[in-house]
Structure 1
Amino acid sequence: MTQNIPVTAVVFDIGNVLIRWQPEELYDQWVGQARREDMFAAVDLHFMNELVDRGGDFRQVIYDTADKHPAYRDEIRWWHDRWLDLAGPAIDLSVATLRALKTRGVPVFALSNFGIGTFEVGEAAYDFLSEFDRRYISGHMGVTKPSARIYQMLEDDCGHAPGGLLFTDDRTENIDAAVQRGWQTHHFTSPRSWADTLIARDLIKESDL
């Protein structure tokens, strides 16, 4: 991460940064590991979710997929019907960093692969999703990370030079795409490491958390 360029705005991914997103672990609890592995091998559920993240109708995409795979129909529908169980809980220390940055007047943006319908559900459950200065949500934008286009769209809209953006994301391909744009980055591996990075950059203080 480039240390000598001042950070003018901080950009958060949401899944696995602010909200835990580990659907395989939940399905292991619900149906057992063996059936979950069989289902995920038979059905590309992450591609199904990608269609939602690109702007597809939340319920229709999932229910249509379920209808195509009757052996797993009920379990696939849970991706819609039990979505808040899949998307959670909040990662409290990361939420604290978001709010600390806001308190200190640092602009905070969201850049997230998130569907239109799923974000509506998420926003109703997690109040901090409404606290960003700007939100760049893939379902509304019609494109997902790591496509260069979604980063360009943020740059064109946000009023900040790419070099002043500090972006955190849990997926290396999304980080790599931001690096290609000239953004500063932090590969999110734990909320503590992210908080320590922000403290080291003098963007927040430990006492803020």
Structure 2
Amino acid sequence: MKPDIQHIVFDIGKVLIHYDPNLPFQRVIPDAAERQWFFDNVCTHEWNLEQDRGRRWDEAEAVLIADYPDREHQIRAFRKYWPEMVSHAYEDSVAIMLALIEAGRDVTLLTNFASDTFREAQEIYPFLKIPRGVTVSGDIALIKPDLAIYETHAGSFGLDPAKSLFIDDSAANVDGARAAGWQSVQFVDAQTLKRDLAGYGIAA
């Protein structure tokens, strides 16, 4: 029998809002092969993750410019054009979150996000201000799927892990939540999420 869920925790990127660095970089680096090389070798996922862990953008840029001085313009374009990377909200997922809040459910957010870009995202997408609260990885120098970030979120918002349901698009982050004693489901699309919630007796 599944536990009685008292707390629902949403990830943000690729669950509530779209994220794709290729969107502005199709203009910055038009050649697809060169653009892929750039993301594989210069502004990599691992490099960007350090901003989610709290590294300042000026420090992050300096590290890369030292190694790739001829790519300075392209490196700085990553932060400069970041708002274009979060091009739209997933309206059906947002509708589920807002319906849960309207129904009186306790909803919070737990996200890997740089501190400054998260605040920009809140201005672009005001619905990110509606849940009871948010843990932003860049604010606390912890990232998913580290166990400590789930423990920090639970402690900050008074969650009972066993009665908390976490929704994230990343299998690794879902596994991290489960290791922390939470219930967790991997986000695929809104219809799947509705079925997953229904499996816990939650109407959305």
TM-score by length of 1: 0.88
Q: Deviations over 1:112-169 (max 9, x none)?
A: 0011111111111110110111211101111111111111111222222111111011
Residue matched to 2:179: 180
In the alignment, the residues of structure 2 paired with residue 18 and residue 75 of structure 1 have an alpha-carbon distance, to the nearest angstrom, of: 28
Match of 2:112 in 1: 113
Is the 1:112–1:136 Cα contact (8 Å) retained in structure 2? yes
Q: 1:47 to 1:61 in 2, by over 3 A?
A: farther
CA distance in 2 between partners of 1:131 and 1:88 (Å): 20
Could you say what secondary structure the match of 2:145 adopts? coil
RMSD (Å), alpha carbons: 1.8
- Please list, as runs of the form range in 1=range in 2, the aligned pairs for 1:59-208 lying within 5 A after superposition: 60-68=58-66, 69-205=68-204
Residue matched to 1:9:
7
Deviation at 1:45, TM superposition (A): 2.3
Task: Identify unmatched segments of 5+ residues in structure 2.
Answer: none
Query: Which residue identity does 1:73 align to in structure 2?
Result: E
1:33 pairs with 2:58? no
TM-score where L is the length of structure 2 = 0.90
Residues 51-81 of structure 1: CA deviation (Å, up to 9, x unaligned): 21111223x1343245222232222212111
Unaligned runs of 5+ in 1: none
Give % identity: 29
Deviates more, 1:20-29 or 1:157-166: 20-29
In structure 2, what is the Cα distance between the partners aligned to 1:176 and 1:198? 18
Contact 1:113 1:138 in 2 (8 A): yes
Please list the CA deviations of residues 14-73 of structure 1 after superposition, one character each: whole Å capped at 9, or x if unmatched: 111011122246534642311112212321522221121111223x13432452222322
Give me the whole-angstrom Cα distance separating, in 1, the residues matched to 2:47 and 2:175: 24
Runs of at least 4 residues off by over 6 Å: none
**Aligned mates of 2:196, 2:125 — CA distance in 1:** 24
